[in-house]
Amino acid sequence: MFLRVLRITVGLGAAISIAAALPAPNGTAFAQSGGPPKAAEKPPVPGPAPAQKTEEYADIQHAMTGPAGNPECAWLGRRVISLLWRDDIETAFRHLDLYDRFGCPADHIPATFRCLILQTNTIDPKAPDSLNNRVAACWINPSEPAPPPPAAAVAAPSAASKH
d(CA 60, CA 140): 7
pLDDT at 148 (0 to 100): 61
pLDDT at 65 (0 to 100): 82
**For residue 79, what are the CA distances in angstroms to 12, 16, 24, 32, 74?**
47, 42, 36, 42, 8
- Domain residue limits, the chain: 65-146
33, pLDDT greater than 90? no
d(CA 100, CA 139): 16
Chain segment 92-116, per-residue pLDDT in tens:
999 999 999 999 999 999 999 999 9
